[in-house]
Chain A
Amino acid sequence: MLSCADATRRVSESLDHPLPLRTRIGLRLHLMMCSACWRFSKQIRGLERLLRGPRKGSEAADSTEEDPQRLSPSKREAIKRALRR
């Protein structure tokens, strides 16, 4: 039986590469029976989605507001000017 330490490691790995079938089945069985690892899995997936999420497709929608995770519009223009030189 897979330990919780191994199960969480595999949950994380599944976000980076496809797990072999046998491993995937073992992990799924563990998650079905273990609420703590199930939560871990749900939570880290959710966090990654949130970190990747808001920028996609919202370029125009929030262009009025400065996003601290993006280049400022003025710097963006300055870089483009530097590249045209």
Chain B
Amino acid sequence: MPQIEQLAATYSSQIFWLLVFFGFTFFVVGRGMVPKVMDTVAQRDKQISDDLIAAERARKQANEEEEAWRVRENTNRAEAQALIAEARTKAAAATEQRLAAAQSVIDTKLAEAEDRIAEARNSAAAEIEDVAADATRDIVSRIAGLSLDDAAVRSTVKENLVHG
């Protein structure tokens, strides 16, 4: 077993070189580099937790803003609805008013037209009576040689016209 057989010859070399290389490892790697690696890890962990906190805060803020927006939106909608309703009633009233005005104009025009028609009919009827009385008198004077009283002819014609 070389570990025991060579012990006397090699122990000092083993101890010396182990202390040299383990010492180097401890001071350069352990003391020099490991704290930097650990520091990086700690920094990353801190950054992650900070980011998480910031994200949580942003989420809360977003929620609050959404809530505020919702409230604002609701009032806006209600206002808009009120405006629309008001506009609708106003428009309906205006339409009614205008319709009524138009109706009255139409009514007066209708009445006027009816008057005119009645007048025209009357004057036409009078003219027809005149023409019929004249024609009757002419026919009677030519055929019977009678000269009839104008008023008598007219009343007879009127009677006949009325009774057909």
**A, B from the same assembly:** no
Chain A interface (Cβ < 8 Å from any Cβ of B): none
